[in-house]
C-alpha cells in the first residue's frame, strides 16, 4: 500500500523567512496530494492540493510542487507570519482510494 | 453553519465504560470517515462509509462499532473503553472516496 514520509518533523523559522516541508510517497500511481494545516486544539483544514497532471500550484503565500519522477511533493510558505505556526500534514491517494497521511510537521514562526 | 459537526467535544470516562460519539455533515457528501489522532498527532483512519456502506475498516478492535443511519450521519460506539483509547477522534466527510476531507472539530476522549 501507499506510504508517505514527511520531513522535517519540526521546523522553526524567523518571521518573514520561507518554510519548506517535503513529502515522499511510494505508490507511483498516486495522483492526488493535499496539504492540511492544524492549529493548536483545532481541526485539520485543507490549505492547498495538487493533482498529478500539474507540477506546481500557488495560492497567495503558499505553493505546492510535485515531482512525479522522484515521487515527492513539497509545501512552500513564503513571507511567514506568526499565524502560520501550526502542524502541517501532507497526504497522498490514487483514484478512489483512501488518503494516506504523513507524520506531520510542527512549524514554529519566531517573531 | 458548521459543515461537519460532532458531539460531544470532550468525553471523560472510566475504563470499561461504553460511550458514543455522533457526527453529522450538511455538505451533501457521499463519504464519511472516522480518524484517530494520538498524542503524537498522527492521523490514522479507522473507518470509512460511502452512502451508508462500510468501505474501510482499518484493523480496528471489535470494541469500536461505527453506524451510518444515512449518508449524512456517522456515529462511533466504543465498548469496554481502555486507557489506550484516549485520543482525539475526528469525523470527516468528502464528496467522494479519496477526495478532499472536511473535518469536524474533534472529540477529545480521556479514559481514566
- Over residues B84-99, the pLDDT tens digits come to 999 999 999 999 887 8
What nine digits make up the cell of B1? 453553519
Q: In DSSP terms, which residues pair with B103 in a beta bridge?
A: B92
Residue B48 clears pLDDT 90, i.e. is over it: yes
Q: Quote the minimal CA–CA distance from A14 to chain B in Å.
A: 24
Reduced to 3 states (helix: H, G, I; strand: E, B; else coil), residue B83 is helix
| Chain A residues close to B97, C-beta within 8 Å | 96-98
What nine digits make up the cell of B44? 490514522
Q: What is the pLDDT of residue B98?
A: 79
Query: Between these two residues, B1 and A77, which has the higher pLDDT value?
Result: A77
* β-pairing verdict for B73-78 and B19-25: antiparallel
Q: What is the pLDDT of residue B1?
A: 60
What nine digits make up the cell of B82? 481502555
In this prediction, residues B69-76 reach a mean pLDDT of 95
Q: Any chain A CB within 8 A of the CB of B64?
A: no
Contact between chains at B43 and A89 (C-beta distance less than 8 A) = yes
Q: How far apart are CA A68 and CA B93, in angstroms?
A: 27
Q: Look at the block and give the residue holding cell 474501510.
A: B56
CB A54 within 8 A of CB A32: no
Reduced to 3 states (helix: H, G, I; strand: E, B; else coil), residue B75 is strand
Cis peptide before B79 (omega within 30 of 0): no
Tens-place pLDDT, residues A38-80: 999 999 999 999 998 889 999 999 999 999 999 999 999 999 9
Q: Look at the block and give the residue holding cell 472516496.
A: B97
Residue B5 clears pLDDT 90, i.e. is over it: yes
Length of chain B: 112
> Scanning every residue of chain A, which has its alpha carbon at the shortest distance from the alpha carbon of B49?
A98
| Chain B residues close to A38, C-beta within 8 Å | 41
Taking one residue from A and the other from B, the number of pairs with CB-CB distance under 8 angstroms is: 49
Nearest to A95 among B42, B45, B98 (CB): B98
| Chain A residues close to B43, C-beta within 8 Å | 44, 89, 101, 104
Q: What is the pLDDT of residue B97?
A: 82
| Chain A residues close to B45, C-beta within 8 Å | 98-99
Q: Look at the block and give the residue holding cell 486544539.
A: A41
CA angle A69, A70, A75 (to 5 degrees): 110
Reduced to 3 states (helix: H, G, I; strand: E, B; else coil), residue A108 is strand
Identify which of B3, B1, B6 has the alpha carbon closest to the alpha carbon of residue B90: B6
Q: How far apart are CA A89 and CA A9, in angstroms?
A: 10
Chain Cα centroid distance, residue B33? 6
Q: Look at the block and give the residue holding cell 521546523.
A: A11
Contact between chains at B48 and A98 (C-beta distance less than 8 A) = yes
Q: What is the pLDDT of residue B57?
A: 85
Cis peptide before B8 (omega within 30 of 0): yes
Identify which of A37, A31, A74 has the alpha carbon closest to the alpha carbon of residue A54: A31
Amino acid at each position: 500500500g501507499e506510504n508517505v514520509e514527511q520531513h522535517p518533523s519540526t521546523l522553526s523559522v524567523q518571521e518573514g523567512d520561507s518554510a519548506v516541508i517535503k513529502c515522499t510517497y511510494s505508490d507511483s500511481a498516486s495522483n492526488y496530494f493535499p496539504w492540511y494545516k492544524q492549529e493548536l486544539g483545532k481541526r485539520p483544514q485543507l490549505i492547498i492540493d495538487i493533482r498529478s497532471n500539474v507540477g506546481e500550484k500557488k495560492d497567495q503565500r503558499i505553493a505546492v510542487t510535485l515531482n512525479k519522477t522522484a515521487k515527492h511533493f513539497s509545501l512552500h510558505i513564503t513571507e511567514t507570519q506568526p499565524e502560520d505556526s501550526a502542524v502541517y500534514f501532507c497526504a497522498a491517494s490514487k483514484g478512489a482510494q483512501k488518503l494516506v497521511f504523513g507524520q506531520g510537521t510542527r512549524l514554529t514562526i519566531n517573531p | 453553519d458548521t459543515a461537519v459537526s460532532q458531539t460531544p467535544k470532550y468525553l471523560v470516562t472510566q475504563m470499561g465504560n461504553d460511550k458514543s460519539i455522533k457526527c453529522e455533515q450538511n455538505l451533501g457528501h457521499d463519504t464519511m470517515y472516522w480518524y484517530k489522532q494520538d498524542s503524537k498527532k498522527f492521523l490514522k483512519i479507522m473507518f470509512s462509509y460511502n452512502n451508508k456502506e462500510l468501505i474501510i475498516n482499518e484493523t480496528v478492535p471489535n470494541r469500536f462499532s461505527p453506524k451510518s443511519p444515512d449518508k449524512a450521519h456517522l456515529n462511533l460506539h466504543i465498548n469496554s473503553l481502555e486507557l489506550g483509547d484516549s485520543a482525539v477522534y475526528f469525523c470527516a466527510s468528502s464528496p467522494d472516496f479519496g477526495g478532499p476531507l472536511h473535518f469536524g472539530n474533534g472529540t477529545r476522549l480521556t479514559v481514566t
